[in-house]
Amino acid sequence: MKDVRQEYHAPGLTEADLLADPVEQARRWVDEAIDAGLPLANAMTLATVSGHGRPSSRVVLLKGIEDGGFVFFTHHDSRKGDDIAANPNVSFVMFWGPFDRQLIVNGRAEKLPAQQAREYFASRPRDSQLSAAISPQSRPTTREQLEADMANLAQQHPEGDPIPMPETWGGYRITPEEIQFWHGRPSRLHDRFRYLKQGTTWTRERLAP
Ligand SMILES: Cc1cc2nc3c(=O)[nH]c(=O)nc-3n(C[C@H](O)[C@H](O)[C@H](O)COP(=O)(O)O)c2cc1C
């Protein structure tokens, strides 16, 4: 590993490239990654902290940027859901290697209204609905149990019959308090800008890489 070295050749990021609103700047970066067809361009590594102060992280998919916040869907009774219930402060990272870009967002997560989650759940492919509905996410199970539960639920709801969204499934919106844009540059002299929310306005500063 110590011999793996990559030089970054991107032209970099200047103040003039950046929008005043970092949420819109983040949307631009996510859209550019999606439009370029990068694999899992909307994958974000989400870190949460438990009520006992223990951090954990996992990948989830960013499903929208709405009302000034970043939306993802999951099980509310998962490890991350328990963490957020105890401590709404979260952080996530998105990294687009081919673009030499990293986005870091720190903020507070809150549950989306159940109706909004139901609308998104209804738009998912049937198999994704079934697996979400039967998964006791973050708890021990067996492959046999999962497959049996999925087959059982599929039998209860023939094709065309809507799968009800479990009460314990839903979305979160992360309202940002700090957003960082990192852009790789040659010689490790990378560009890095941090936005901080001060009341209702954002301030911006360059940070050393
Ligand atoms: C590419 C990728 C996308 C994922 N998307 C989601 C997602 O949108 N929501 C989700 O709950 N889990 C998603 N997962 C699974 C999570 O990484 C994780 O295993 C799960 O949410 C349980 O996490 P927890 O036990 O820390 O709460 C995804 C995993 C990968 C690798």
Q: How far is CA 21 from the centre of its chain?
A: 19
In the chain, what are the domain boundaries? 15-124+166-206
Query: CA-to-CA distance for 79 and 175, rounded, in angstroms?
Result: 20
pLDDT in tens, 167-178: 999 999 999 999
Average pLDDT on 181-206 reads 94
Looking at residue 72, its pLDDT comes to 98
- The neighbouring-strand residues paired with 65 are 70
Express as a percent the part of the chain with pLDDT over 70. 100
- The neighbouring-strand residues paired with 180 are 104, 194
b/e map 3-31, b = 16+ CB within 10 Å? eeeeeeeeeebeeeebeeebbebbeebbe
57 is annotated as contributing to ligand binding: no
Nearest Cα residue to 181 out of 149, 204, 155: 204
| Residue tagged active-site, from 108, 188, 194, 206 | 188
Query: CA-to-CA distance for 8 and 141, rounded, in angstroms?
Result: 43
Mean pLDDT of the chain: 96
Average pLDDT on 106-120 reads 97
Q: Which CATH number, 3.40.50.300, 1.10.540.10, 2.30.110.10, 2.60.40.10, labels domain 15-124+166-206?
A: 2.30.110.10
The sign of the dihedral angle between the CA atoms of 65, 180, 57, 79 is negative
What confidence category does residue 164 fall into, taking pLDDT thresholds of 50, 70 and 90? very high
Report CA(175)–ligand 1 centroid distance (Å). 20
Specify the residue with its C-alpha closest to ligand 1, atom 28: 60
Which amino acids bring their CB within 6 angstroms of ligand 1?
A: 40, 43, 56, 58-61, 72-74, 78-80, 137-138
* 188 catalytic per annotation: yes
Helices 126-134, 143-156: crossing angle, 10 deg rounding = 120
120 is annotated as contributing to ligand binding: yes
Determine the 3-state secondary structure of 92 from DSSP. strand
Query: CA-to-CA distance for 38 and 99, rounded, in angstroms?
Result: 9
Average pLDDT on 115-130 reads 96
Looking at residue 187, its pLDDT comes to 85
